[in-house]
Structure 1
Amino acid sequence: MRKKFFSYYVILVVSAMAVTGFFVTRLAQSLYKRNVEEKLASVAKVIQNEISEDIKEGVEIDYNAIAAKYSEILEGSPQDNATPNMSDLRVTIIDLNGKVLGESETDFRSMENHLSRSEVQQALKGSIGKDIRHSRTLDTDFTYVAVKASEVIIRLSLPLTELRDIRWIILRHITLGILVSLLFTVFLALKFSASVTRPVNELINASREIASGNYSKRVKSSADYEFSQLADTFNEMAYQLERTVADLTDKNIKVETIINSMMDGIIAVDDNYNIVLINDMAKEMFGMDRKDDVIGINIIEAVRNNQLNSFISKSVEEGTSSIKEILIAGAGKDGKTYRIHTNPVKPVDNTKKKSGAIVLIQDITNIKKLEQIRTDFVSNVTHELKTPLTSIRGFIETLRSGAMNDPEVAESFLEIIDIESERLYNLINDILQLSEIETRQKDSNILPHSLNSSITEVISILQGPAEKKNVRLIDETSEELTISANKDRIKQMLINLIDNGIKYNVEGGSVFVKAYRHGGNIVISVKDTGIGIAQEHLPRIFERFYRVDKGRSREAGGTGLGLSIVKHIASLYNGDVRVSSQPGIGTEFTVRLPL
């Protein structure tokens, strides 16, 4: 910028000097020509007076002699800088018909008629005739002045040879003036351009820094009033911009933090279906990386789900809201169910019929699972309660029909009714226990007690059923362990695990019970040598009423809730339960409880 400013400044000054020189030259030439014309006109009037006097006195006039006389007189006249050089003056006397009567430079008798000359025509009309013509022979301009004197016309001509000298003199002076002016111009231009470009460059640099994000950049005030005002205005603008950007950044951070902290997905699109807002949860729901920048990308390219895109398109085009559910398929049980809420975005001024849509996506997979669990639970409870009740009612009906009269049959039926009643009681008791555990966030009656004694008590309780099936119960716990928990809960958990080990064991099998410390946990292991569980059943083994072999489970007297109760007791103490099993070899349940 400084170079351009300097160049323009120099060009401006040189141009001004050149234009000035041109007009000065033209003015000097004009003044010189006017001076020559006036001098010639005064000489012509002198000759005119002499001829007029001679005509009055009746003297015979020798026009050629008069022309020669005045040419000689003026040739020897003194000259100065202000007076044109008259040494080359040429005097011609012409009659009214254009015939040359006298000539100071050549033989007038050989000269052509001058009637057609411009200055002669002007003189014939009574005015002073003037004309300037270029002589190719002498390569110079001649000025002509003609006046009428009685019966003749006196014409004087003078070459304008001094015009060249005047041009060269003026040109030399102008050139010298330009050179001298250039020196001052360069000095002033450098200084002036620096004073102008320095604050401008400072503003440019400050603008670049602000554009790159440094909104705290300011410029110094200049000594010049206008630049000082500009600097103050710029600094005020930068301050306001910094505040505005800070406010917007703060608001954007708050909004982004809020929407990214939501458990639901949010997507907003414009009327061209380009994404204008999306949170991390929505990206995760549709398999995108949270770091992916999809703002401005068409929703069809970013989210490849035809159902969702169809809902959004309908909301944008028709301006209607909708609530739909979609299923995102996955491997195994990883499928997700999403509830989609779509709403059109309506502008405040209603200038456009459609402005886009906003989508709220809720993951209702767990809700669906809970609904399914509840449905299955009600169905299973109904079935499990109905089976013993049906059996009890059938035997009672049989007894009423006459079986009571046969003591042996009646005793057999009553024993079956007693077994089914006990089954019904156990089922209801397990349901109540499971419900109680599920509704608790924290257990009560938590006291330190010996885990070894609890294991011993449970083994004693189950020793009878184990002996009936010829199953050995072996306690492999070698260290004294103290646990802070509800003793009844721990015993219930042990009973369920050991009882399962007995029920699903083989004749002459064993159940090994072991407890030990490991990694800040107390680990309880119950391992049997029974029939085992196939691998496809292991993920569902802790579900309510889930049975690997339903017929055998009912024969063994199981309710289908024992392992679910174990899982919930472990969860109540922030622990977990795991299972490993091989069909025909046995099953091991491992419970980890934090110390």
Structure 2
Amino acid sequence: MRGRLFVTFLWLTGLSVLITGLLVSFLMRAAYMDSLGERMGKEGQLLAKSLDWESTAPGKPNFRRQTRLYSQTLDAHVTLMDKNGDVLSDSDQRSKKGKNNKNNSAVKRILQKKERSTYERVVTDNQLAVYVPVDYNGERKGVLRITVELDSINHSLRQVWVSMIIGLIFAYAVAALVSSRLASRFTRPIEEITQVAVDVARNKYHRRIPVKKQDEIGRLATAINRMGAGLRYQLETIRKSERRLTGVIETMESGLLMVDAEGKVTVANQAILSLFDLGSTSLINKSLTDLPVFHELQGLVHHCKESQESVRDELHLYFPTERILAASLTPIWGGETTGMGVVIVLHDITPIRYLEKLRTEFVANVSHELKTPVTSLRGFAETLLDGGVDDPKMRREFLEIIHFESLRLERLIGDLLDLSKIESRKVRLNVVKVSIDDLLRPTIKTMEEEIRKLDLQLHMKGERGFNVRVDPDRFSQIVINLVANAMAYTPAGGSITLTTGVEESSWWLQVEDTGIGIPSEDLPRIFERFYRVDKARSRDSGGTGLGLAIVKHLVEAHRGTIDVESQVGEKTGFTLRFPR
């Protein structure tokens, strides 16, 4: 653009200089000719007045001498004619004497005019002639002609033209330099605006246009700068929103999948890959029909597109692990060009269904556990009411059973209340520093009598004398439940061993028995409520089925862990580990 503008300026400047030169040369020639003609006219009038027609009769020498004197003085050709147009005297001796010029239009006009102070000027290619009337005593005596050759005048004008041309060339060069500077000055802001516009088109918004003047270009540059700043802010806002949205999509636990009208995946988060065990496989631009893991989902997508309504259903997966997914499908209209797409959100509700199953089993177990002692109480009470109370032996036996069942019912209700409080985190631990010996000795003392009745042996081993930080009452509950569980599943003649140990950052307690053991398939469930490995043996011992569940929650409340190892028919050991 700068080159085109510079060339345009040169053309305009050159044309202007040429027209100006021609006009000036024409005006100079015209002005010079006017000035020369006027001067010659005035000189002619002066010569005409100085002629003495009385003393210079025709043919006399002094008349010829006057014309020669005038010619030498004026450096011009002087010719004197009478009123008939005949030449009376000529400064050029070569001119023919007596030549008649009556038909000369200028002579004719001069002779016809009445005015005295008038003259006629005639310009030819090589001469400038001035015709002046000669009056004497109010009578028109003739015409005086003064002729000047234009060669000298043209020579002078040529010198002027050469000087003027040189000046015009210099002016043209200066104008060209100024045009270049002006073109650069005018185009530089436009070039900067163009470059900024190109950068904006390439998503580069950091560049700005320097604004020096508040003219049209300055206001345009200001508008471009504001537009660039606005686009940059909007783009940064969009990028931040996109990053936030991407972060939310990628970190959400629910699987998100978006398919277009052709069934191709356009959005898929990490949760989808995890739910279907797809690893790092990229799903973008892949069709659902090409992915066998989405076989059940394809039918829901088709139904959602056909109905153009939201669809909710559950998917049951068996690979890689058994899962239950809640699928929510919503149609989205992308316009005439993209058609109908579907947004799919998958929630893993496997834990919820598992908890619902546990709740159902818990209600059934609680109902069963409560029904058993209540049925016993009712049955023996009815027997006593029907006459059994009269038999002292039967009365005592039935009352002992009623007492036993009522105690078991009381323990069951107490364990349920304890477990409910522990699970709802309403139990506050009173943690104190206490010696391990002072912690275990009273607890074991309370159970020695029952252990002897069952013909069992209780042993204590390991390190002694170190201090721990626990809630004594709740820790005693842990030990009692574990020992009671060992007593229930250890036959007569067996043994129960309590072993303690301390490490750098933790201490541990192990309760091991020589009982019937726990099958490996039952180990993952032994801490569930009401779960029993041997239901008959546990119920006969008066167990509620809640002891190990309470133990697990209390151990976790102390920030500890519990592990179990067992060999069927040989032994079972529970290991508790707590931080120091």
**Could you say which TM-score interval applies, normalised by the shorter chain?**
0.5 to 0.7
Equivalent in 530, 533, 548 of residue 533 of structure 2: 548
Q: Which amino acid aligns with 2:238?
A: L
Find the partner of 1:508 among 485, 493, 508: 493
Distance 1:217 1:283 in 2: 42
Alignment match of 2:424 (pick from 424, 430, 439): 439
8 A Cα contact 2:562 2:574, kept in partner: yes
**How far apart are residue 208 of structure 1 and its match?**
10
CA distance in 2 between counterparts of 1:273 and 1:311 reads: 12
Secondary structure of 1:516 counterpart: strand
Match of 1:587 among 557, 572, 580: 572
Equivalent in the alignment of 2:374 = 389
| Alpha-carbon distance in structure 2 between the residues aligned to 1:482 and 1:212 | 71
1:288 aligns with 2:271: no
Secondary structure of the 1:317 match is: helix
Q: Cα 1:235–1:296, aligned 2, differ >3 Å: closer, same or farther?
A: farther
Confirm whether residue 246 of structure 1 aligns to residue 236 of structure 2.
yes
Output the CA distance in 2 between the equivalents of 1:442 and 1:482.
23
**Is the 2:257–2:272 Cα contact (8 Å) retained in structure 1?**
yes
Instruction: Name the SS of the counterpart of 1:316 in structure 2.
Output: helix
For the Cα contact (< 8 Å) 1:341–1:359, is it kept in 2?
Answer: yes
> Contact 2:327 / 2:347 at 8 angstroms: preserved in 1?
yes
CA contact (8 A) 1:266 1:279 kept: yes
Q: Residue 436 of structure 2 contacts residue 464 of structure 2 at CA under 8 Å; is this kept in 1? A: no
Closer, same or farther: CA 530–299 of 1 in aligned 2, 3 Å: same
Q: Quick check: 1:286–1:303 contact (8 Å CA) kept in 2? A: no
Q: 1:479 to 1:200 in 2, by over 3 A?
A: farther
Determine which of 245, 258, 282 is the counterpart of 1:255. Answer: 245
Letter in 1 for 2:413: I
Report the Cα distance in structure 2 between the residues aligned to 1:294 and 1:519, rounded to whole angstroms. 49
- Aligned residue for 2:576, secondary structure, equals strand
After TM superposition, list the pairs within 5 Å mapping 1:278-317 onto structure 2: 278-289=268-279, 292-301=281-290, 304-317=293-306
- Structure 1 position 448 matched with structure 2 position 433: yes
Count matched residues. Answer: 407
Question: Hey, what's the Cα distance between the residues in 2 that align with 1:313 and 1:432?
Answer: 51
Give the alignment of 1:551-562 within 5 angstroms.
551-562=536-547
- Structure 1 pair 230/304, CA: closer, same or farther in 2 (3 Å)? farther
* CA–CA separation in structure 2 for the residues paired with 1:512 and 1:329: 43
Give secondary structure in 1 for the equivalent of 2:357.
helix
Shift of 1:520: 2.4
User: What is the aligned counterpart of 1:270 among 251, 256, 260?
Assistant: 260
| 1:428 partnered with 2:413 | yes
Deviations along 1:336-389, one digit per CA (max 9) or x if unpaired, are 111111111145xx7689521212221111111111111100100111111111
The residue number in structure 1 matching 2:330 is: 343
Q: Which sections of structure 1, spanning at least 5 residues, go unmatched?
A: 6-194, 222-226
Against the structure 1 CA distance between its residues 443 and 237, is the aligned structure 2 distance closer, same or farther, given a 3 Å change threshold?
same
Contact kept, 8 Å, 2:566 with 2:572, in 1: the verdict is: yes
Q: What is residue 321 of structure 1 aligned with on the other side? A: 310
Residue equivalent to 2:347: 362
Q: Alpha carbons of 1:243 and 1:299: their partners in 2 closer, same or farther (altered >3 Å)? A: farther
One-letter code aligned to 2:260: D
**Displacement after TM superposition at 1:244 (Å):** 4.3
5+ residue gaps, structure 2, are 4-183, 212-216
User: Which residue, 400, 403, 411 being the options, matches 1:418?
Assistant: 403
Asked if 2 retains the 8 angstrom alpha-carbon contact of 1:452 and 1:477, the reply is no
**What are the equivalent positions in structure 2 for 1:52-71 lying under 5 Å apart?**
none
**Structure 1 position 467, deviation (Å):** 0.5
Q: Please give the per-residue CA displacement for 1:61-83, whole angstroms capped at 9, x wherever unaligned.
A: xxxxxxxxxxxxxxxxxxxxxxx
Change (3 A) 1:254 1:402: same
The answer on 1:379 being equivalent to 2:369 is: no
Give the Cα separation in 1 of the matches to 2:338 and 2:223. Answer: 42
Secondary structure of 2:445's aligned partner: helix
Q: Is contact 2:260–2:338 with CA below 8 Å preserved after alignment?
A: no
What is the aligned-residue identity percentage? 34
Shift of 1:544: 0.8
Distance (whole Å) between structure 2 residues aligned to residue 510 and residue 209 of structure 1: 86
| Distance in 1, Cα, partners of 2:346 & 2:292 | 13
Contact 2:562 2:576 in 1 (8 A): yes
Mapped partners of 2:348, 2:205: distance in 1: 42
**SS in structure 2 opposite 1:578?**
strand
Q: CA deviation at 1:573?
A: 2.4
Mapped to 2, the partners of 1:352 and 1:210 lie a distance apart of 28
**Cα offset, 1:229, TM superposition:** 12
The within-5 A match list for 1:521-536 is 521-536=506-521
Output the amino acid matched with 1:301: D
Structure 1's 489 and 370: CA in aligned 2 closer, same or farther, altered over 3 A? same
TM-aligned CA deviation for residue 200 of structure 1: 13
Query: TM (normalized to structure 2)?
Result: 0.61
Between structure 1 and structure 2, the one with the greater Rg is 2
Give me the TM-score of the superposition, normalised by structure 1. Answer: 0.59
Rounded Cα–Cα distance in structure 2 between residues aligned with 1:580 and 1:423: 29
Could you tell me how far apart the structure 1 residues matched to 2:254 and 2:481 are? Answer: 40
